[in-house]
Amino acid sequence: MKTTKMILTLATILVCVFNVNAQDNDKAPSLAINTSSYKTAIGLRAGETSGLTIKRFIGSNTALEGIVGIWSHGLSTTILFEKYTPAFNVSGLNWYYGAGGHVAFETSRTVYYYRNGRYDKYHDGSVGLGIDGLIGIEYKIQAIPFALSLDMKPFIEVISRGGVWISLDPGLGIKVTF
């Protein structure tokens, strides 16, 4: 419930900021993808994979992003390669897509999930390896060093003690840029 409220609040902020910028779009010059002159961003991602995120542009339209996901029963690390393209001809607004992988570490308990008519479980000390896709939209606020993002990071994960986990993993992010 807390995560849902956080996602809705950040989505509302993203929509408001986008609408304010769209009204001034006729006055804004045409800018490149990495317009906002930021090369690095550090922030938070809320969603199934919630945690700390850091992104570094390695080209004018490509970036590497790492996510350290934290949840009540484990920890994960994700690395993603991302490509950016302008969205809706709005300065600072970009679509992004990419792929990568992750490793997840289960901590001190067994967690059961009821899916597809049966129980799946993570065991104490399990390790999961997965591949991730990514598609989303990001808005770099021009006046201040913040970027807001909304994305879908579907993944499939094979768990060391048996089982496969599949998720769409939607997320909302806020990052400080520099």
In sequence order, the β-bridge partners of residue 144 are none
What is the structure's pLDDT at 125? 73
Strand extents, DSSP E, the chain? 40-47, 51-57, 62-71, 74-86, 93-106, 111-115, 118-122, 127-141, 146-152, 155-159, 164-167, 170-177
- Residue-wise pLDDT tens for the chain (178 aa)? 455 555 555 555 544 444 444 444 444 444 445 445 699 999 999 998 999 999 999 999 999 999 999 877 789 999 999 999 999 999 999 999 999 999 999 875 666 777 777 777 655 678 999 999 999 999 999 899 999 999 999 999 998 878 898 999 999 999 999 9
Domain spans of the chain? 2-24+39-177
pLDDT value of residue 2? 52
Task: Supply the pLDDT for residue 106.
Answer: 81
- Res 13: pLDDT: 54
Which residues partner with 48 through β-bridges? none
Both tokens of residue 30?
A: 């045409």
What is the pLDDT at residue 28?
41
Output the pLDDT for position 25: 44
* Domain 2-24+39-177: assigned CATH number: 2.40.160.20
